[in-house]
């Protein structure tokens, strides 16, 4: 990396830490630290949700998948776009109303416990444990992406790069909490979109016309031009099923819970979906173009396609900005994941089970220390330099989608749902995802989120109708929350 790129990169990292310092004084209570006092505006909620959703997968995983396999990977983007739209359309406003009405819940385990009046705390313990399990994998995927970025950009050893990337993320998340995370995600989302628009434009000029580009791709492998190449029904369903994951991602749902008003949801939806469509198209184009660009010198790691292309095509100062955008994609998810894990440990375990009388200041510091602890665990998982970002993301995404997706949907729309149904749904979804990955052949090649989602939904329904109906107070509270 050239000196201008390094300078630009360092300025960006310092700015992120600056956000943590600025918002430090706005995180005096746990609700402020975890949800920013529910004061997010439409634009910040939309772009922070999108940026925390897409992560390093958008600028590393997806371009790498298209570079390695061709346009048949676009089905992931189609599934994600549909899932995100439905999530904003049917979950966002309703979850915002329910969580505020039900004891001003600031975490999903807290919301589910309040929703079903679970005095045994079983639902809180199980759901918080599932969050910690899958976020350990999810956070590790982000750290791997960050490590690869520093390794490629600075020529550092992978382990050194991993420690550097983790350190920056932990510092500003530790200091500023949810508001620092959301506002950094907002600017990171803008930066990511600019990178994914600028790069394709530059590549179009490089190849002069579309025919030259497609001819270059065809010279490597003509099948890369076919969206149906090597795709079976199971293959297409697996990629489309990624969209189901949106209904159960705690770090995305937290943005819905934190938006200032239900009235802001439609505007946030329009901004968020628009950002997402353009970003996905840009990422696909980068991977597709990389096939032709690196035809004579194939990359050993497909996920480096955007990194290497940026450094070769752009002015050093602009390259530094675009590399910062890639780091943004990584950080915007890792910081949100660390914060959700922090909330689970501070609100759901420490306060919910051990110290209900804990002061706000005490809980905030438990949350901050939890950020450091979870980051350390994820760092151990990410220490393997051979770990693939897309593989780690796929497993964690499926885990949350199958465990929480059906439970959140049923809890918001089905009055007859019971505590037993919710518990059965979370456990069934998590176990299915964990076990499915070890089965091989035929139907078992299906992405585990789909069977997990279906089986979790069945478990919720069967256990709910076979158990005692919810109490009158539960149904009355449900009706009140639904009416706003």
Query: Maximum Cα–Cα distance for the chain, whole Å?
Result: 70
CA atoms of 161 and 4, how far apart (whole Å): 20
* 419 phi and psi angles, rounded to 5 deg: -60, -40
Residue 389 has pLDDT above 70, yes or no: no
Q: Helices 449-465 and 389-413, interaxial angle, to 10°?
A: 20
- Mean pLDDT for 395-406 is 90
- What are the residues facing 259 on neighbouring strands? 40
Read off the pLDDT of residues 102-129 as tens digits, 9 standing for 90 and up.
988 888 888 999 999 988 889 988 998 8
What DSSP state is assigned to residue 386?
T
More confident residue, 46 or 135: 46
The count of other CB atoms within 10 Å of the CB of residue 84 is: 25
**40: helix, coil or strand?**
strand
Read off the pLDDT of residues 83-96 as tens digits, 9 standing for 90 and up.
999 999 999 999 99
pLDDT on residue 325: 67
Read off the pLDDT of residues 246-287 as tens digits, 9 standing for 90 and up.
999 888 898 899 898 899 999 999 999 999 999 899 999 889
CA atoms of 97 and 95, how far apart (whole Å): 5
CA atoms of 313 and 413, how far apart (whole Å): 50
Q: CA dihedral in degrees (265, 266, 270, 273; nearest 10)?
A: 50
Residue 351 has pLDDT above 80, yes or no: no
More confident residue, 343 or 418: 418
pLDDT on residue 195: 79
More confident residue, 176 or 99: 99
CA atoms of 386 and 388, how far apart (whole Å): 6
Residue 355 banded pLDDT, cuts 50, 70, 90: confident
pLDDT on residue 82: 94
CB 278 within 8 A of CB 81: no
In CATH, 3-386 is 1.20.1730.10: yes
- Among 287, 294, 67, which Cα is nearest to 196's? 287
CA atoms of 484 and 477, how far apart (whole Å): 11
- Among 215, 165, 225, 236, which Cα is nearest to 389's? 165
Residue 58 banded pLDDT, cuts 50, 70, 90: confident
Read off the pLDDT of residues 216-242 as tens digits, 9 standing for 90 and up.
888 888 888 888 888 888 888 888 999
Least confident of 54-63, 166-175, 383-392, 396-405: 383-392
Read off the pLDDT of residues 178-205 as tens digits, 9 standing for 90 and up.
777 777 778 778 877 887 888 777 777 7
Q: Region of 440 please: left (phi>0), alpha (psi -120 to 50) or beta.
A: beta
Taking the mean position of all CA atoms in its chain, how far away is CA 409? 19
- What are the residues facing 40 on neighbouring strands? 259
pLDDT on residue 1: 53
pLDDT on residue 407: 97
More confident residue, 68 or 355: 68
Instruction: Enumerate the domain spans of the chain.
Output: 3-386
CA atoms of 484 and 265, how far apart (whole Å): 14
Residue 441 banded pLDDT, cuts 50, 70, 90: low
Percent share of the chain, pLDDT over 90: 26
pLDDT on residue 152: 67
Mean pLDDT rounded to a whole number for the chain: 83
Residue 434 has pLDDT above 70, yes or no: yes
Residue 22 has pLDDT above 80, yes or no: no
**259: helix, coil or strand?**
strand
CB 423 within 8 A of CB 109: no
pLDDT on residue 450: 93
More confident residue, 272 or 338: 272
- Among 437, 80, 414, which Cα is nearest to 280's? 80
Residue 455 has pLDDT above 70, yes or no: yes
């Amino acid at each position: 990396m050239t000196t201008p790129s390094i300078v630009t990169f360092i300025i960006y990292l310092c700015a992120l830490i600056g956000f943590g310092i600025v918002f430090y004084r706005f995180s005096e209570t746990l609700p402020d630290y975890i949800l920013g006092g529910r004061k997010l505006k439409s634009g910040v909620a939309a772009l922070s949700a999108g940026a925390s959703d897409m992560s390093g997968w958008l600028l590393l995983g997806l371009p790498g998948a298209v570079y390695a396999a061709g346009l048949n990977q676009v089905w992931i983007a189609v599934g994600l776009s549909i899932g995100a739209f439905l999530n904003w359309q049917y979950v966002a406003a309703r979850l915002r109303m329910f969580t505020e009405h039900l004891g001003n819940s600031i975490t999903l385990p807290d919301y589910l416990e309040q929703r079903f009046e679970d005095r045994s705390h079983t639902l809180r313990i199980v759901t918080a444990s599932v969050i910690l399990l899958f976020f350990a994998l999810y956070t590790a995927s982000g750290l791997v992406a960050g490590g690869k970025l520093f390794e490629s950009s600075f020529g550092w050893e992978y382990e050194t790069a991993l420690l550097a990337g983790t350190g920056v993320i932990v510092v500003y998340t530790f200091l500023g909490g949810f508001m620092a995370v959301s506002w950094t995600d907002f600017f990171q989302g803008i930066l990511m979109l600019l990178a994914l628009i600028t790069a394709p434009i530059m590549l179009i000029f490089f190849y002069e016309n579309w025919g030259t580009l497609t001819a270059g791709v065809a010279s490597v492998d003509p099948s890369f031009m076919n969206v149906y190449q090597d795709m079976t029904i199971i293959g297409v369903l697996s990629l489309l099923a990624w969209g189901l994951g949106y209904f159960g991602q705690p770090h995305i749902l937290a943005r819905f819970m934190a938006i200032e008003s239900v009235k802001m949801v439609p505007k946030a939806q329009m901004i968020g979906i628009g950002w997402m469509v353009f970003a996905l198209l840009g990422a696909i184009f980068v991977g597709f173009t990389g096939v032709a660009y690196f035809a004579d010198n194939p990359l050993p790691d497909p996920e480096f396609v955007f990194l290497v292309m940026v450094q070769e095509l752009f002015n050093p100062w602009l390259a530094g900005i675009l590399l910062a955008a890639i780091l943004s994609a990584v950080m915007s998810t890792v910081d949100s994941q660390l914060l959700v894990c922090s909330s689970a440990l501070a609100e759901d375990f420490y306060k919910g089970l051990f110290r209900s009388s804990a002061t706000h200041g005490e809980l905030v510091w438990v949350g901050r220390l939890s950020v450091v602890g979870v980051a350390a665990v994820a760092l151990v998982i990410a220490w393997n330099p051979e770990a693939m970002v897309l593989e780690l993301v796929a497993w964690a995404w499926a885990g949350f989608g199958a465990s929480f997706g059906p439970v959140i949907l049923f809890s918001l729309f089905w009055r007859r749902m019971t505590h037993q149904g919710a518990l059965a749904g979370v456990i069934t979804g998590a176990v299915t995802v964990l076990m499915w990955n070890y089965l091989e052949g035929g139907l078992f090649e299906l992405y585990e989120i789909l069977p997990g989602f279906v089986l979790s939904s069945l478990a919720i329904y069967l256990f709910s109708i076979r158990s005692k109906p919810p109490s009158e107070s539960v149904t009355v509270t449900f009706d009140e929350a639904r009416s706003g």
